[in-house]
Amino acid sequence: MVERKILTERNKRRETNNGLSCWFGWGWQAEDRETDSRLSNWGMEIGKQGLRKLILRKGTNYYHYSCQSPSQGDEVQLQVHFRGWVKGGATLEYESSTHHQNIRNITNWTTSSTTTPLCFKLGQCEVIKGLDEGVATMQKGERAVFSIPPNLAYGELGSPPFIPPSSTLFFDIELLSWTTIRDLTGDGGLFKKITRDGHGWATPRDADQVLVNYEARLENGTLVTKSEGAEFHIGDACICPAISIAVKTMRRGEVAELAVKFLYGFKEDVNGTTNTESCISSASNMAIQLELISWKSVIDITGDRKVVKKIIKAGEGFDCPNEGSLVKVIYIGKLDDGSVMERKGSEEEPFVFVSLQEQINEGLERAIITMKKGEQALVTVDAEYLGSYGASGLVSASSALHYEVQLIDFTKEKPYWKMDTHEKMEACERKKHNGNLLFKAGKYWRASKKYEKAANYVDFDHSFTKDEKRAADSLRLSCNLNNAACKLKLGEYHEASRLCTKVLEIDPFNVKALYRRSQAYKQVSEFEKAEADIKTALTIAPNNRDVKLEHKELKDKQREYTRYQSEIFSTMFARIYG
């Protein structure tokens, strides 16, 4: 039970703070009751219901980028000398005589002292609403005074005899710590409580390879399974679903307790032994102690799992090679059976190439231009992205090459901001020409990169003369239109429509831009937008054969989509009413 008492001791040292006469230590006492009338106007307002806060000491994370504060459901621990007072009335101190404390239903006062911190669960109505809202704004180690209006405290009734009706309350609080508890699944099936904070800010993502320690026990304490140094890919069916879900919310070195319902737990086979590959669910809830030791980032480069990079050693900085960079690498390519297919470079003499000049296969190059200096990675490239290897049959269509790659260094081309206008125009023309050759050869990804780089040279034309600006506009439009054509071939329809929109912002009657944007909209089933564009194009160029064909194809696609929707609704209604 939570009890309260009238403070009989007064601190001896005082200081004036923002017009308040206050006491050092934990007892706040107005010099006279007139001071209470000024308390409602100090500090910052929290929300729109009259709650105010005055910070006496900033938290330990105040100047840190994270600035973490507790959230709903967190178990909060307040400083032992947690005190309050009624405006114009008694000075209050809350203390506990039981393990669980509830400040909403105070019934007694006491004069005894306590050294037990006040603990409650935030956002669960275990304290008055003003404290719930106020503490949620604090950081670890912060000390603050809150002015809580009656509507966020005990309201019109008060809490006799010491809290009169419609009383404003003041609380002097230090936030000692809190334990974060999260419902990770939203259905109460998996709760996570952090018992040791991790390092940094990053967390693993889907498909990353993680290294963990875990111990799982049933509610009665029976050990289910235990593993030290377990390594797996997030999302693998062979691991406990709860661990796969929880580990994506953890930072390196973090330790957490998981409360797991059977749907998210380990599995049991028909003999009752733990078997993570079985599809028979356990009949009991579990508690899992989980520690995230480390992880290796796994990145799907192409979005179709055909070029995948797993980072073994992180690189330096944030920069990566781009189109035209001079790149130094060491790599070894192996077949599925481990036999070496390709080897380039060494520590003494790295392999040097210019990016996007078709000097290495497309899949490996796509991965390398995502790497940072000093990075080491394992790259798996499907036969579709192996170029000559795949076409020659050296690697079967169902196989892949596995590369061990180290990016030693790279040097980018001269940046456009260091070029004069003549150099920019020349570079843009050159890149555009190279892109045209690649497009004709069906190498759309490399062509797209060329057009993108070419457009960058003339995007910022504030230093151009009028004639140069006209030429730059023409080049920019041409590069963006050609790049949009590449994106359509690559299936990147949203990018294609974005590039066409950039063209139309400069030239609203550009038929090619309207035509290609209509194609992009059609592919993502945005038929109204597609029809608006193609009709505008027909108005401008009524005899354009490609535009007329696209209009016909769009109409066919709309009819097909309408039939498909009708079939779905018919089936749905038949199941409901049949």
What pLDDT score was predicted for residue 119? Answer: 76
What pLDDT score was predicted for residue 466? Answer: 87
* pLDDT tens column, 128-175: 899 889 988 888 888 888 999 999 999 988 887 778 889 898 888 888
Confidence label for 34 from pLDDT (cuts 50, 70 and 90) = very low
Enumerate the β-bridge partners of residue 301.
none
Contacts of residue 398, Cβ cutoff 8 Å, sequence gap at least 6: 383
Place of tokens 């950081």: 139
Query: Does residue 441 carry a pLDDT above 80?
Result: yes
Alpha-carbon distance 512 to 298, whole Å?
39
Name the more confident of 115 and 534.
Answer: 534
Query: Does residue 476 carry a pLDDT above 90?
Result: yes
* pLDDT tens column, 246-302: 999 999 999 999 999 888 887 544 344 444 434 334 457 889 999 999 999 999 999
Query: Does residue 39 carry a pLDDT above 70?
Result: no
2-6 and 108-109 strand pairing: parallel
Query: Does residue 403 carry a pLDDT above 90?
Result: yes
Query: Does residue 22 carry a pLDDT above 90?
Result: no
Answer whether 258's CB lies under 8 Å from 230's CB: no
pTM, two decimal places: 0.64
What pLDDT score was predicted for residue 577? Answer: 65
What's the mean per-residue pLDDT of the chain? 81
What pLDDT score was predicted for residue 175? Answer: 85
Name the more confident of 123 and 417.
Answer: 417
519 closest CA partner among 495, 543, 544: 495
The fraction of the chain above a pLDDT of 70, given in percent, is 79
- What's the distance, CA 244 to chain centroid? 17
Alpha-carbon distance 119 to 238, whole Å?
39
